[in-house]
Chains A and B, each alone.
Chain A
Amino acid sequence: MLSRVADSLYWMGRYLERAENVTRLLLVTEDFSTETQGLAEDLAQTAWKDMLTIFPSAQLTRDITPFAPLAVPYLHAFFTDQANAYSILVSIRKARENARSVREALTLEVFLALNEAFRALEAYERKGMPDLPAFRDALSATHKGIFTVVGAIEHTSTRDEGWRFLKLGESFERSYRSALVLRTKLPALLAAEARGDAPLYYTQWRTLLRGLSSLENYRRVYGARLEPNLVIGFLLFDADSPRSLRYGASIVRDYLAAISGPAELTAPARIIGKLYADLRYDDEAQMRRGDFAGLLDRVVGELAKTHDAIATQYFVT
């Protein structure tokens, strides 16, 4: 397939996944900040500021006004602000631009669903959001719209090379963004243990799991009790959870192998393969060592290298 088309599909996958991640994080953070701002405003503030670390170079364009809820400037910036490179509207617009430039490589259903999601976001931007409930409604509807696109891809795409590049982009973005969420939030959360405000402490762990859409999956494995070590183990090393780092590395590795053919070992496949081996076979030692900040730095770094190697291998010919 054309390198340009593969490149566009890869990025379409990345932007779609990114839009879904932003939507989910906004919904979860909004919940958290509403729940905690009266109790511990600093925690609520940190939760929002984390968005700017998870999505580096994202920008707030509205001032934080004294009496407005904390969430408002962040929701504005990350929902439909065209000036913020990480807003949902910008991600969906870019996904659609990529789709438009390779329209013949997609099914009509996928294109229709994506077009509809984009037009809905444009309408939200035009109308503006009067209050938090309006944001919440619109974000939930957007979440569904994105899942409709993902579902259309799942149900109508032929499993050819183009599909594999799209899925590669999607799974890469998921792993990379999950690693950034963990790197941003985990060290602070571990340091907070001493505070001893138990209900609030567990709310934070629960929010971390929800932010990575893993709360229910965690409960299925370990029950309702939130043990920090179990949560960390689950988010980093679980074999089946779609957002654990180990699973993410394995799936990126699998799509790369499907693209190159199992016999060929490409540069990106080597990098991701080594990372996967670490996460798969070194899990117990890592848990004992407890240097999660160091581990997460390395994961983020290796993933960034994988992306560069993918681009060199396939998009620049």
Chain B
Amino acid sequence: MPEKKAFDEAFDGRGTARQHYRPLVSILESFTQSEIERRERLQKLSLMDQGITFAVYGEKEGTERIFPFDFVPRVIPALEWERLQAGLVQRVTALNLFILDVYQGQKCLKDRVIPPELVLSRKEYKRELLNVIPPRQIFTHVVGTDIIRNDAGDYLVLEDNCRCPSGVSYVLENRNTLNRVFPEFFKYYPVRPIKDYPTLLLDTLLHAAPRFSEKPVVVILTPGMANSAYFEHSFLAREMGVVLVEGRDLIVEDNYVFMRTTQGKQKVDMIYRRVDDDFLDPLTFRRDSLLGVPGLMNVYREGNVGLANAPGVGVADDKSVYAFMPALIRYYLGQDALLPQVQTYLGARTQDFVYIQEHARELVIKTTGDSGGYGMLMGPFASKKEIEAYLAQMKRNPGNYIAQPLIELSAHPTYVDGTFEPRRIDLRPFILYGESVRVLPGGLTRVALRPGSYVVNSSQGGGSKDTWVLAAKDG
């Protein structure tokens, strides 16, 4: 049972409920089994009826699934959150400064804070954007940073998602669902509200719009209905009251972006794009892209349209850049990183490469560019053969790989098949970079529903929980 080693969020080593979980445990104990089952059925029905679904790749086109929701909320005490929040604000501030530097000046590369080849050789580094600086020097308007807790209960940063982090719609809908299905939970907890996220997001986007327009027109650009996060794109458009567009709805003329409307063309000032860099503009990036808008990058370069997040931010998501984050925070802010992160071995570094080869059985090895749990090897659970095959592949291009020790994700009581069982969780807080850097209290807690599993991704059998940040007692 690997759960034994994991930090349990709700119970201490002797099996007593931690202080901030006590009221919740008593409420749950007061329910009968059949009452809980009835509520669970209600909750599932409500998700399906509302069409809160995600599309699954590789299955029949248009397949929709509900994202499983576990009703046992995760509780984060005020003080713990304050520390997390400060660490996230610091980290995102540094990430933005790093990206700015990479595209203007490249001081950190000249000062060898990070090996230049590590940054310049990545496909996420966009040479064509050198010296193209977005309004107010903000690149990372919306960031989702993945956080885990080790066996001691310390919060560690696992990765930064500066490109198109998704999941915030589930954060908001999970709260709605829990409010409706288990209103009793909220009676004894001062849970910080999160409903103003769409307002904050709109403010962030307006703040980042080019300054020529008095009332900037903001749109969300989605790859379309077949995308796994389409529900979220449409949800955010509705909540912010902005138009949801697809690539084919936009055209470029005279170096401005317009949308095709029933009344002719209308100018667009700010695009919250949920389309990856490579698909944004077939003239600049991928020629075969049908999702993007031909000519869009030229308009962006001219400063005639804003893009959030700015193209090119993917360099900061790179898993080998991650290894240098503590150094980069020190370099740009003169501070020590407030949030620790996971020890990382770089395939690109000779002594690390040797270490990875020798200790593959204890390590999680990942490719630097992938996300979503794809393309990785879990050493402790892999067969000798799998490890050898993976290492052989890695040898061909070691620079594309990193390795980390396996971290015992913390476990949280979860309702599975009629009983409460510990399951591993992580946390993705959402950080908005507008006039200031703000963190939505809580974030998306993902849970691995399979026993013993470490994989929390929705595409691979994960679910989610409502995440509560408690208000500080005296204001």
Contact = CB atoms under 8 A, between A and B. Distances in A.
Interface of A: 1-6, 97, 100-104, 108, 111-112, 115-116, 119, 161, 165, 259, 314, 317
Nearest to B264: A317
A112 B235 CA distance: 14
Contact of A103 (B48, B238, B264): B238
Nearest to B238: A104
Contact of A104 (B224, B234, B263): B234
Given A3-B262, A101-B224, 14 more contacts: A1-B243, A2-B249, A4-B246, A4-B260, A100-B51, A100-B234, A102-B244, A103-B238, A104-B235, A104-B237, A112-B49, A116-B49, A317-B260, A317-B261
Interface in B219-251: 224-225, 234-235, 237-238, 243-246, 248-249
A104 B249 contact: no
A268 B51 CA distance: 36
A140 to B, nearest CB: 22
Contacts of A104: 234-235, 237-238, 243-244
Contacts of B224: 101
A3 B266 CA distance: 11
A103 B235 CA distance: 8
Interface of B: 48-51, 62, 224-225, 234-235, 237-238, 243-246, 248-249, 259-265
B261 A2 contact: yes
Contacts of A161: 262
Contacts of A2: 243, 245, 249, 259-262
B51 A111 contact: yes
Contacts of B238: 103-104
A4 B49 contact: no
A293 B265 CA distance: 43
Contacts of A101: 224-225
9 residue pairs, one from A and one from B, having the closest CB atoms: A104-B237, A104-B238, A103-B234, A317-B260, A314-B262, A3-B260, A6-B262, A104-B234, A104-B244
Given A4-B246, A104-B244, A112 B261 contact: no
Contact of B262 (A100, A112, A259): A259
Nearest to B234: A103
A115 B45 CA distance: 12
15 contacts: A1-B261, A2-B243, A2-B262, A3-B262, A97-B62, A100-B225, A103-B238, A104-B235, A104-B237, A108-B50, A111-B51, A112-B49, A115-B50, A314-B262, A317-B265
Contacts of A3: 249, 260-262
Contacts of B237: 104
A89 to B, nearest CB: 14
B221 to A, nearest CB: 12
Contacts of B260: 2-4, 317
B219 to A, nearest CB: 9
Contacts of A119: 48-49
B400 to A, nearest CB: 37
Contacts of A1: 243, 261-263
A111 B50 CA distance: 8
A259 B261 CA distance: 12
Nearest to B46: A112
Contacts of B259: 2
Nearest to A115: B51
Contacts of B225: 97, 100-101
B466 to A, nearest CB: 20
A312 B55 CA distance: 33
A100 B230 CA distance: 9
A115 B49 contact: yes
Contacts of B234: 100, 103-104
A49 B405 CA distance: 71
Among A2, A6, A103, A111, residue most surrounded by chain B Cβ atoms (within 10 Å): A2
A88 B261 CA distance: 31
A97 B62 CA distance: 9
Which one of B48, B237, B262 has the greatest number of beta carbons of chain A within 10 Å? B262
A152 B460 CA distance: 37
Contacts of A100: 51, 225, 234
A306 B465 CA distance: 51
A124 B427 CA distance: 41
A160 B369 CA distance: 45
A62 B235 CA distance: 42
A1 B237 CA distance: 14
B230 to A, nearest CB: 8
Contacts of A165: 262
B1 to A, nearest CB: 40
Contacts of B249: 2-4
Contacts of B248: 4
Contacts of A97: 62, 225
A161 B262 CA distance: 9
A97 to B, nearest CB: 8
A111 B231 CA distance: 13
Contacts of B50: 108, 111-112, 115
A243 B238 CA distance: 35
Most buried by A among B237, B248, B263, B265: B263
A161 B235 CA distance: 20
Contacts of B263: 1
A100 B243 CA distance: 14
Contacts of A5: 243
B2 to A, nearest CB: 39
A112 B49 CA distance: 6
A105 to B, nearest CB: 8
B265 to A, nearest CB: 8
A98 to B, nearest CB: 10
A279 to B, nearest CB: 27
A161 B238 CA distance: 16
A104 B62 CA distance: 18
Nearest to B242: A104
A207 B352 CA distance: 83
Indicate the member of A104, A112, A317 with the most B CB atoms within 10 Å.
A104
A10 to B, nearest CB: 10
Nearest to B220: A104
A157 to B, nearest CB: 13
Contacts of B264: 317
A120 to B, nearest CB: 11
Contacts of B51: 100, 103, 111-112, 115
Contacts of B265: 317
A4 B262 CA distance: 9
B246 to A, nearest CB: 7
B347 to A, nearest CB: 43
Contacts of B49: 112, 115-116, 119
